[in-house]
Structures are given as structure tokens and as C-alpha cells.
Amino acid sequence: GIQVEQSPPDLILQEGANSTLRCNFSDSVNNLQWFHQNPWGQLINLFYIPSGTKQNGRLSATTVATERYSLLYISSSQTTDSGVYFCAVDGAGANSKLTFGKGITLSVRP
Amino acid sequence: KAGVTQTPRYLIKTRGQQVTLSCSPISGHRSVSWYQQTPGQGLQFLFEYFSETQRNKGNFPGRFSGRQFSNSRSEMNVSTLELGDSALYLCASSLGGTGNTIYFGEGSWLTVV
């Protein structure tokens, strides 16, 4: 099946710093989503981005489907950005079956 | 518009018992999928239902089963619980077509003792 690798596994930032989180995937995808898992366990949608670039406030994401990677950018980080960020993909023909990476644990210090 | 609702949120069961978890998808969504999250294995796909039919299945033993009702609500059942079944169980819903955004509920925390 499709493989998803996220890097770095852990990231520690000072409040106000910028960061880039990376997701590599091994095959063509119909769907790529970035999630932030809150302390209570819920996966919060950040972006649906199988290709192209999107921005939402301080967050933006870019997926280069031909090169099989996606990047999540966080600018001017805040302590509330702390948590685990997951990239998940839905391979061709998989229909709503997401394969997740292991996640990136982000800690933003005041 | 209400999000994905899962019940119960927290539960403790004894080894050998069975458990049923419930999920109500976003209104209009016909696909419901289930995932298990553990510290060791991460997030793993269990199964997906679309219009009351199981459309995809992950690599879990037959003790894990599910179903979907005509109103798209779904239940998953785990029989003969083992300690290793302790996990966060997440339900997700989508319209069900190729490349649709998938939305998750808050999850059900299961502890097996």
C-alpha cells in the first residue's frame, strides 16, 4: 500500500518563529489532508490539498503531486499551535481510506 | 451544521467483554469510516461503509466489525476485548466520492482492563 513519511518527527519552536512540516508519499493520491490533533484527540481539518497551494491565516500548504510531497507552513507560531500534525492520503481508487503518517509533534514555547 | 458525533466518549471495559461504539456523520454524508489510534501503531484504518455496504476494510481481526444504517449512522463492535484494543477510536465522514474531504469526530477512548 501507499506509504506516508512525515518529517521532522519533533519540532520545538519559540513563539513567533516560522516552521515547515513535510509529508512525502509513495504513490499517486486523490486526496491529501493535513490535520492538527487537539489535546482531546480530535483531528481538526487544516487543509484538503491533493495539489496546489492554499492559505488560511497563518497557515499555508503546498502539494507538488508530481514529486509526491506536501509542505505545511506555520508562520508566527503561537503556543496554541502546539500539538501533533498529521498528513493523510487517499491513494488512487482507495475511496475514503486514509493512510496516515506518524505525525509531527510541534511544541511552541512562550 | 453539526459535525461528526461519536458516543460514548470514554469507556472502560474488561478483557473478554464486547463494546459497541456509535457514530453519527455530518448530515448528507454517506460514507463513514473508522480508525484506531494507539501510541505504538499510530492511526490505522479499520473499515469504511458507504450506503450501508462495507466498501473498504483494513487489516484487523474479525473481532472488529461494523455496520451502517439507512440514515448513515454507523456502529462498530469489538468482541472478546483484549488489552491491546485499548485505543482512541475515531470515526470520520465524507460525501464518499473520490477525493472528498474527510471530517473526524472527537473519538471514543476505550480502556480495556
Q: Measuring CA to CA, which residue among A31, A33, A9, A26 is closest to residue A67?
A: A26
Per-residue pLDDT of chain A (110 residues; tens, 9 = 90+): 899 999 999 999 999 999 999 999 999 888 899 999 988 888 999 999 999 999 999 999 999 999 999 999 999 999 999 999 999 998 766 566 899 999 999 999 99
**pLDDT of res. B1:** 63
Distance between B49 CA and the closest CA of chain A, angstroms: 9
Residue of A nearest to B41 (CA): A102
Task: Give tens-digit pLDDT for B47-101.
Answer: 999 999 999 899 999 999 999 999 999 999 999 999 999 999 999 999 887 778 8
Which of the residues A96, A97, A99, A102 would you substitute to probe the B interface, choosing the one with the greatest number of B C-beta atoms within 10 Å? A96
Question: What is the rounded distance in angstroms from the CA atom of residue B26 to the CA atom of residue B92?
Answer: 9
Question: What is the rounded distance in angstroms from the CA atom of residue A109 to the CA atom of residue B54?
Answer: 44
Q: How many CB pairs under 8 A join A and B?
A: 74
For chain A positions 28-87, those within 8 Å of chain B (CB to CB) are 30-31, 33, 35, 40-45, 48, 50, 86
Question: What is the rounded distance in angstroms from the CA atom of residue A37 to the CA atom of residue A86?
Answer: 8
Q: Is A89 helix (H, G, I), strand (E, B) or coil?
A: strand
Q: Cβ A96–B56 below 8 Å, yes or no?
A: yes
Which of the residues B5, B41, B45, B68 would you substitute to probe the A interface, choosing the one with the greatest number of A C-beta atoms within 10 Å? B45
